[in-house]
Amino acid sequence: MGQTAADLEPLGASERLHALDAVRGFALLLGIVLHATLSFVPTPTRIWFIQDTHQSLALGLLFYAIHVFRMTTFFLLAGFFARMSLHRRGTMGFVGDRLQRIALPLLIGWPILFELMGLVVGWASGFPNGGRIPGARSWPPVLPNFPLTHLWFLYVLLELYAATLLVRSAVVWLDASGALRAALDRLVAWIMRSPLAPVLLAVPIGIAFFLDRHWISVMGVKTPDQSLVTNLQAWIGFGTAFGLGWLLHRQVDLLRILERRWLWNLLPALVLTFICFVLGGVILGSPGAPKPPVSSETLRQISAVLYALAIWTTTFAVIGVSLRFMSGFSPVRRYLADASYWLYLIHLPIVMALQVALSQFDWPAPVKLAIILGVAIAVMLASYHVLVRYTVVGVVLNGKRAPRAAAPAAVVTGSAAP
């Protein structure tokens, strides 16, 4: 049967789990694909700063499928790697590392990237179906409203790190015997071993979706990209994932379950995602969508339940597939995993500019998307290799790197990116 999770190298202080590194890079790079598809998604009203002349239902499905699981997977692995880093560095070392790799890129990167994106939006305003997104808040913002843009994940990571350290300190103080932590470990093991694990984990975010009368599945988990006050839905959805990742690092062998069940999670994940996509089109009244036999509110509630299940089955499927097929070291995957953080940080103004440049051409949407991604990724990879990989910027983002000829294959970078 090939390599199984039982054959995975132990997670020591100087070792990396190659499969999870692959998922980390995959999740971030998929974010670039997701944003590149936005100008092609067919919607009744404009949801992006530029709407391409050629819309594509297939690219709409691609956007939707990525949006279902990407950030939940991100935060689960962020929690896993956070605990690994904490135990390698100690509390103060961990805090310093997170401030360097998360807070500093946010503080330095946001004003530069926001200014560049503003210039692109201004350029787009000269085109049909271009300019500020309808309903967007004006500038300057009135706090706590604030356009964190795609860097909101750094802000939420800092919040989750702080909250986790506080909870951990309280548990250590209150649970001197370790009985509470042992019970929690047993609960996590029971959940992960249960065939209903995705159902159990879907309950909190499913309830949040269900109770939000304005929620529709196209939104996914509401991201706090326009406010410094993180909404409750994001805390529930991403906090659950981060906490599970943290606790899974206490019992790494539980990852073997996800590997064994990769196909059993993948099949329902595909079915659930497609059903939710169709229901979303029906609720929004997309052209060609059938007239529903029940009320839109009933469909919204059904979507809330199914979407929550889709989140967790897909997250488990993606991690399981990676453990099953990508546990060995690959220099290409290693390079992309290392580069993915930088690429994701800088990608949005580049992708946006390419979307504007191609928006009026009479070319098929998939061709335009391929050009956008090909040009953007080539430029960004070149910038990573020349400006980041072996420079002080790379040290800030990914830690110190060994010399080019001696870079080890199994060093854990401890990057905040999952």
Structural contact between residues 356 and 297, judged by C-beta atoms closer than 8 angstroms: no
* pLDDT above 80: residue 143: yes
Burial of 201 (0-12, 13-18, 19+ CB in 10 A): buried
Phi first, then psi: give them for residue 336, nearest 5 degrees. -65, -35
Structural contact between residues 202 and 117, judged by C-beta atoms closer than 8 angstroms: no
* pLDDT above 60: residue 412: no
Structural contact between residues 248 and 84, judged by C-beta atoms closer than 8 angstroms: no
pLDDT on residue 332 = 93
Tokens 């590392």 belong to residue: 97
Our CA angle for 264, 266, 269, nearest 5°, is 110
Q: 139 or 106, which is more confident?
A: 106
Structural contact between residues 381 and 374, judged by C-beta atoms closer than 8 angstroms: no
Q: What is the residue-averaged pLDDT of the chain?
A: 89
- Sign of torsion, CA 44 48 50 52? negative
pLDDT on residue 401 = 62
Question: Could you say which DSSP state residue 283 is in?
Answer: H
pLDDT on residue 138 = 78
pLDDT tens-digit profile of 238-266? 999 999 999 999 999 999 999 999 999 99
pLDDT tens-digit profile of 78-124? 999 999 999 999 999 999 999 999 999 999 999 999 999 999 999 99
CA 128, distance to chain mean position in Å, is 31
Question: Could you say which DSSP state residue 370 is in?
Answer: H
* pLDDT above 50: residue 149: yes
pLDDT on residue 135 = 74
